[in-house]
Amino acid sequence: MNKIINPILKGFNPDPNIIRVDDDYYIVTSTFEWFPGVQIHHSRDLVNWRLTGQILNKTSQLDMLGIPDSCGVWAPQLSYHEGTFYLVYTNVKSFDGQWKDTPNYLVTSQDISGPWSAPIFLNSSGFDPSLFHDDDGKGYLVNMILDHRNNTFFGGIILQEYNKSTKKLVGSIKHIFYGTEHGRTEGPHLYKKNNTYYLLTAEGGTSYEHCMSLARSKSLAGPYEVHPDNPFITAKYDPDNYLQKTGHGDLIQTQNDEWYAVFLTARPLTKLGRCITGRETAIEKIEWHKNGWPYTTHGNKAARMEIEAPDLPAHPFKSRPERDNFESKKLDINFQSLRIPMTEDWVSLNKRGGFLRLTGRESLSSCHRQSLVARRVQAHHTVSQTALEFMPDNFQQMAGLVCYYNTNHYHYLHISGGDFGLEDNKRYISIISCDNHDTTEPVTKIEINAAGKVYLKADFNGAQLQFCFAIEAIDTNPVWQSIGPVLDGSILSDDYVENSTVRFHPCFTGAFVGMTCQDLSGQAKHADFQYFEYVEMEQ
């Protein structure tokens, strides 16, 4: 029997929402401060998945300039009704302190690949919006409501009608669900089956207490009764399970009336430990019992690493090459930038053929205009490398290879210049590590003035991160030498960052690896990268 191997979307692909349109399945996931917004994956068999793009690719749809870390796009929801795709999403502007700013928007398209419309503002009462299309064609928006009073925060689930003709929310707002004893009720999705409305929510927070809760009602506005064995999917009672943090998800019915649930998950490096691959997406098979409630087919709340695939024709996709030689005029789909689009003025494949040129701008701690292009770390052991040509004039000009979590947590192998006014234009290679605002240089700078091209490598194996560099190659193979000590790569995780911060701030992404360039002097010095290679060492 064909098997699905979990997670189906590895490495920082949380809050999955799934739909089926004829024989095609689509999952969208959260992207937070990374641009473009909303990852979309495609499958025809629920086994094989391919990243097809990101939906929000214009600043008119997604303005994130200056937003804090882990804000931006939260929990997008995709739906399809009468030939139109609907995407609702939150663009979180602030999340520190008593007040939260969470505007919710809607964009539409006749084609999953776009173009997508200009955004329609819906509300800002809370996050995790979801659009439900009832049998009579009417639309209804549900979202969690933020309650700032007495630090309540999670105020339950509200519902309001959405008029598709006027493109506005209309009528009264109804509070339909307060949640269960698991608390932190969010991520609502509505379904209708056998004239009964089902409300799926995420509860327990997004870490090791996370779970999927289900309630139902004969009336859309409630009252809702809770699943008799709630939560129906969670790992909170099984700390040794391979898949942890299971929650925030969605349900899907196949063409052959098989049912599955997709949900957020994570793979810790140690028991209930740190997760460098962030929050990912997994799937589990479910079945409906005579009592009208869904349960997992294997009878356990904890999800499995391998599950039965649906009765659908296999549809594998061609794998993408591990090395990008920058010969195309379009950057690989796996690369994203921070907060703003990748535009020709700072990232270019045209200014020098066969190279990616990054123009130096702001520091790695900036929430505005960084010159950073990176991809997700999607396995527990990866090796990434690049080669660059960079001639800095001073120490304020830097470029290199970075392993990055957010503006306050990263390890950066880079080339920089010397002091201002030196006539010999010396170049140096070194490491900068940032851990909760504390920036250190764990290795003495090494002079590489004679080198033209410099090769950089990051061997990221679990919690251990070893940087290497080379200034010569034999038959195109770099002659690597280690630089600096083995660094703690596990600080690039939600679990570490949340626990190391004095006051709560959202920590919802995952480790990235990529290329970056800074010019803190404002002179726009550029670096040319010849290739980027990313290899997953584990099966």
| Three-state DSSP state, 150 | helix
Q: Residue 466, CB half-sphere, CA atoms under 13 Å: how many?
A: 9
Report the helix count and the strand count for the chain, using DSSP H and E.
1, 42
The secondary structure of residue 57, as a DSSP letter, is: -
**Strand pairing report for 168-177 and 153-163:** antiparallel
In degrees, rounded to 5, the angle at the alpha carbon of residue 188 between the alpha carbons of residues 182 and 194 is 105
Catalytic residues, by residue number, are 15, 186
Cα 454 to Cα 174: distance, rounded to the nearest angstrom: 61
Q: Token digits for 365?
A: 């701690």
Cα 525 to Cα 169: distance, rounded to the nearest angstrom: 49
Q: For 523, phi and psi rounded to 5 degrees?
A: -95, 0
| Three-state DSSP state, 478 | strand
Can you spell out the DSSP letters for 199-240?
EEEEES-SSTT-EEEEEEESSTT---EEPTT--SEESTT-TT
Q: Token digits for 18?
A: 């799934």
Under a CB-based contact definition with an 8 Å cutoff, are residues 467 and 484 in contact?
yes
Cis omega (within 30 of 0) for bond into 36: yes
In degrees, rounded to 5, the angle at the alpha carbon of residue 243 between the alpha carbons of residues 385 and 19 is 85
Q: Token digits for 136?
A: 């009579």
Can you spell out the DSSP letters for 63-120?
--TTPPTT-EEEEEEEEEETTEEEEEEEEE-B-SSS--BB-EEEEEESSTT-PPPPPE
Q: For 409, phi and psi rounded to 5 degrees?
A: -145, 110
Cα 187 to Cα 210: distance, rounded to the nearest angstrom: 12
Under a CB-based contact definition with an 8 Å cutoff, are residues 33 and 338 in contact?
yes
In degrees, rounded to 5, the angle at the alpha carbon of residue 36 between the alpha carbons of residues 34 and 42 is 110
| Three-state DSSP state, 331 | coil
The secondary structure of residue 59, as a DSSP letter, is: T
